[in-house]
A and B are shown apart, each in its own frame.
Chain A
């Protein structure tokens, strides 16, 4: 089945997909930013040092 012309349904689905896409991009940006902050503030190194002390 195919739709000859654009239906309102397509607009809604496009809006939903676009919104979800932006949310996912935002989430990736947050994860990347957090990783950069944690590494540059030395928390990552501290965690590694703690882990090696526990071994």
Chain B
């Protein structure tokens, strides 16, 4: 066999990094961070090693659902410029292999989380995978422009799972963290859709920009940003946080509403003229927004713990 034919035969053989990218590492980093916030903010304590292992398997469960999402969405991923270099459309990994990989990792992550922490946390992880793969990816994503709103719930579960790992139950405070991510998700992705406009059009995914138009998407972003500011500030008055969080929340939510207002009041010619500069900035800011809020929740929970400790 000649060198040329060997090259042709094996040029598409996957590397380890291709399997890793099936797990959507960027999404996984958000899952890890918010799950850690759930663990840190929860009352009570667990062994640090159990906490570490739990976070690893929550992340693995999130990654497994990412692989299953890539399996099902392989057809539209090959159309969109943002996703066509993913391992399946790039021809590195077959769709069926990605499906098996996702199913096996889902089972391993759920069982291991149950063994490491408790079965409520494992059930919540299983439900999250089910919600993301079946409810969002298979059912709603191609059916309704509200796909992001409902699908956002899947990404909002990690802090609840982290909380359940420590406490063994679902507390009101963990539901507040869920609400923060749940309401944050739509404006975050809609701002992405505003500057990746051709992608969703050509893939015929019913994004709000495609079905309701760009004006309506800007209205939605502004409305959801106002709602998000209310939820974020409300958390500042709950037992989940303290003065540090409240200060951060005030600063960032004023900026959020101001940025959303600027997006809302903008015309399409202005957007084309600066190549969607404000939309890109809003998208990046929303990432920082979520990171800072959860970091503040963690910091405040440690301050509260120290303060309570000094009283006892």
Contacts and interface: CB of A to CB of B under 8 A. Distances in A.
A34 B115 contact: yes
Interface string A13-31: 1011011100000000010
B49 A37 contact: yes
B56 A30 contact: yes
Contacts of B20: 19
A12 B16 CA distance: 8
A15 B56 contact: no
B101 to A, nearest CB: 12
B35 to A, nearest CB: 16
A37 B1 CA distance: 55
Looking at chain A's contact residues, the main secondary structure is helix
Nearest to A5: B3
A15 B53 CA distance: 25
Contact of B53 (A1, A7, A8, A34): A34
A51 interface: no
A49 interface: no
A16 B16 contact: yes
B13 A9 contact: yes
B76 to A, nearest CB: 28
Contacts of A15: 15-17
B307 interface: no
A18 B49 contact: no
Contacts of B1: 1
Given A33-B53, A37-B47, A18 B115 contact: no
Contacts of A13: 13
Contact of B50 (A3, A12, A16, A37): A37
Given A30-B56, A37-B50, A18 B6 contact: no
Nearest to A22: B16
B171 interface: no
B213 interface: no
Interface string B93-119: 000000000000000000010011000
A6 interface: no
A30 B223 CA distance: 45
Given A8-B10, A15-B15, 11 more contacts: A9-B6, A9-B13, A12-B15, A16-B14, A16-B16, A19-B19, A19-B20, A34-B49, A37-B47, A37-B49, A41-B47
Interface of B: 1, 3, 6-7, 10, 13-17, 19-20, 47, 49-50, 53, 56, 112, 115-116
14 contacts: A3-B6, A8-B7, A8-B10, A12-B13, A15-B17, A16-B14, A18-B16, A19-B19, A19-B20, A20-B16, A30-B56, A30-B112, A34-B49, A34-B53
